[in-house]
Structure 1
Amino acid sequence: MKGWRPPAPFLLLLPAIVVLAAVVIIPLVLSLYSSFTAFRLTQPASLYTFVGFRNYTRILTDIEFWTAFGRTVLLLTVALNVEMLLGLGLAMLVEKATSGQRALRTIMMFPMMFSPILVGFQFKFMFNDNIGLINNALQSLGLTDRAIPWLIDGQLAFVAILVAEVWSSTSVFAILILAGLLAMPKEPIEAARVDGCTPWQTFRYVTWPFVMPFAYIAMTIRSLDVARAYDIVKIMTDGGPAKRTELLWTLVSRTAYADARMGLANAMAYAAILLSIVFTVYFFRKLSAARTQIAAEW
């Protein structure tokens, strides 16, 4: 080894490799290892008690885990579809604006600038059954004569969380779809109008196929966010009432820190990561198919 010197590119990348290993790789390896142990925070020596796949087999028969899993998939599915529809509508309205389009684009990005914790506190106050803006507005308009327990009733609490998620992230769809609309050539739309197509036909067969890849990019990004949703739920309901709004990552957090079962919690976390990977692969395939279709038609 005398006289050997590492290549310059390796030396330049070495600090980044060390930081990446310390921040990402080592914690991932340790958490994966602990998912095969009976590790409890109150018993540090249990980290060395190897139990094989016992934590994973326990998950398969845990009704609480599968309930949180299904609720996470439901939130992800509903949130993505609502955000896509609202984002598409906003993007088309902004694209049609004849003046002030830059200001509208800036305003449209405001919800993305707030942290999820701040959004959670904001909507927790708005949906408060005593002093919340939502109940005060409904009662002032005469739509209800009593305070609605938004964050106390399980189904209403889920709706409140969904509203907070949609408000904070619809702009992701709006910005990306607007980018597609602005990049779209005008000749096919003009040709469709000359051929006598209605506005709906023009949108369905010309505009939407072109902007579809941008929508799938937004869906890929948001599916990762919603699948690991934690901050907003933690602040607004903390998984309550009676675990009616418990999602995968709030369940993982409670199992790891409240119940101190870190090994089981890490097994749940890797199952949640698998959910994220499944949705990501699905949307990437849709994105590839949409790009192939555009390449063939345009």
Structure 2
Amino acid sequence: MKNWKLSAPFLLLLPSFIVLAAVVIVPLLLSFYSSFTPFRLTKPESFFVFIGLRNYINILSDWNFWVAFGRTVLLLTIALNLEMLLGLGLALLVEKASRGQRILRTIMMFPMMFSPILVGFQFKFMFNDNIGLVNNALQALGITNNAIPWLIDGTLAFIAILTAEIWSSTSVFAILILAGLLAMPREPVEAARVDGCTPWQTFRYVTWPFLMPFAYIAMTIRSLDVARAYDIVKIMTDGGPAGRTELIWTLVARTGYSDARMGVANAMAYFSILLSILFTVYFFRKLAAARTQIGAEW
């Protein structure tokens, strides 16, 4: 031991490495191994039975898994596009404000300060068919006479979850796009106006290409969040009614804890990670292309 010469940086980082291995690496390895076993929480001895790729083959033929997978992709696609449009609009409005811009930026960040569980409870109350704010407002305005079963009908429940996701995370796009607007040089915009470009042409060919890298960064962050959405769905509908709002991670939790089939649940989880990887790679490629375009044009 005396002959070992460990550098001071390594010794200082060693406790962090140990903690990281204990709370991240070891659980990941164990969960990955269990995806190749018929592990059940009610049968601990099944953890040591190796069955190869049987769990993965079974989930590939499981219709419920593919429905939840497709519904997650649908939620991700709609949420990202709407959040980007709304965030872009908010960023443009705040950037144009001549007074109180700091206050507006602070208010814009409020939804990010709420935990997903709290957001789920808030919107579950708002979309309640008897005492919810949404139904009361619609009836007070005379738009409808009957209570709308927002969280009972499958399509309406999906819309309610989508609304909660958009409200809680649009500010991510707004803040990043606003940062791009504030960092953008004024000379190209002024040159476009001098050349006679309309406001739409100036935005389409000058402003938006500069903002695209910021938008893709926001999309990358949000795609990882939506792809593993669980808290809001669990609180608002718990995957119901009749599995109409079941997403990948609510299905994984139900399979692992309600059905005690932890091996199958871990196989679902690792397979669904491919969704996050695919979206991340796609947006990083778009980000690199946008940066290259800006470097060439600016």
TM-score (norm 2): 0.99
Find the counterpart in structure 2 of residue 191 from structure 1.
191
Find the counterpart in structure 2 of residue 84 from structure 1.
84
Q: Please say which of residues 1-10 and 185-194 is displaced more in the overlay.
A: 1-10
Find the counterpart in structure 2 of residue 152 from structure 1.
152
Aligned-partner Cα distance in 2 for 1:135–1:38: 46
Find the counterpart in structure 1 of residue 268 from structure 2.
268
Specify the code of the residue in structure 1 equivalent to 2:117: I
Q: Alpha-carbon deviations, 1:237-264, whole Å to 9, x = none?
A: 0000000000000000000000000000
Find the counterpart in structure 1 of residue 132 from structure 2.
132
Specify the code of the residue in structure 2 equivalent to 1:64: N
Q: Alpha-carbon deviations, 1:248-298, whole Å to 9, x = none?
A: 000000000000000000000001111101100000000000000000000
Q: Alpha-carbon deviations, 1:31-53, whole Å to 9, x = none?
A: 00000000000000000111100
Find the counterpart in structure 2 of residue 227 from structure 1.
227
Asked if 1:66 is matched to 2:66, the reply is: yes
Question: Post-superposition shift, 1:2?
Answer: 3.9
Aligned-partner Cα distance in 1 for 2:221–2:105: 19
Find the counterpart in structure 2 of residue 103 from structure 1.
103
Aligned-partner Cα distance in 2 for 1:250–1:218: 24
Find the counterpart in structure 1 of residue 254 from structure 2.
254
Specify the code of the residue in structure 1 equivalent to 2:140: S
Question: Post-superposition shift, 1:153?
Answer: 0.1
Specify the code of the residue in structure 2 equivalent to 1:137: A
1:149 match: secondary structure: coil
Aligned-partner Cα distance in 2 for 1:19–1:83: 37
Find the counterpart in structure 2 of residue 211 from structure 1.
211
Question: Post-superposition shift, 1:7?
Answer: 1.7
Specify the code of the residue in structure 1 equivalent to 2:68: A
Specify the code of the residue in structure 2 equivalent to 1:224: L
1:253 match: secondary structure: helix
Find the counterpart in structure 2 of residue 94 from structure 1.
94
Aligned-partner Cα distance in 1 for 2:2–2:199: 75
Aligned-partner Cα distance in 1 for 2:29–2:167: 36
TM-score (norm 1): 0.99
Aligned-partner Cα distance in 2 for 1:71–1:209: 31
Find the counterpart in structure 1 of residue 182 from structure 2.
182
Aligned-partner Cα distance in 1 for 2:103–2:9: 44
Question: Post-superposition shift, 1:74?
Answer: 0.2
Question: Post-superposition shift, 1:9?
Answer: 1.6
Specify the code of the residue in structure 1 equivalent to 2:36: F
Question: Post-superposition shift, 1:3?
Answer: 2.5
Find the counterpart in structure 1 of residue 8 from structure 2.
8
1:246 match: secondary structure: coil
Aligned-partner Cα distance in 1 for 2:86–2:104: 15
Residues 30-49 of structure 1: pairs in structure 2 closer than 5 A: 30-49=30-49
Specify the code of the residue in structure 1 equivalent to 2:45: A
Q: Alpha-carbon deviations, 1:157-187, whole Å to 9, x = none?
A: 0000000000000000000000000000001
Aligned-partner Cα distance in 2 for 1:4–1:266: 41
Aligned-partner Cα distance in 2 for 1:104–1:123: 23
Gaps in structure 2 of 5+ consecutive residues: none
Question: Which contiguous aligned blocks of 4+ residues in structure 1 show a shift greater than 6 angstroms?
Answer: none
Specify the code of the residue in structure 2 equivalent to 1:174: A
Specify the code of the residue in structure 1 equivalent to 2:159: V
Specify the code of the residue in structure 2 equivalent to 1:113: M
Root mean square deviation, CA, Å: 0.6
Question: Post-superposition shift, 1:6?
Answer: 1.5
Q: Tell me the number of residue pairs that the alignment of Structure 1 and Structure 2 aligns.
A: 298
Q: Alpha-carbon deviations, 1:211-258, whole Å to 9, x = none?
A: 000000000000000000000000000000000000000000000000
Aligned-partner Cα distance in 2 for 1:266–1:37: 10
Gaps in structure 1 of 5+ consecutive residues: none
Q: Alpha-carbon deviations, 1:71-108, whole Å to 9, x = none?
A: 00000000000000000000000000000000000000
Find the counterpart in structure 2 of residue 123 from structure 1.
123
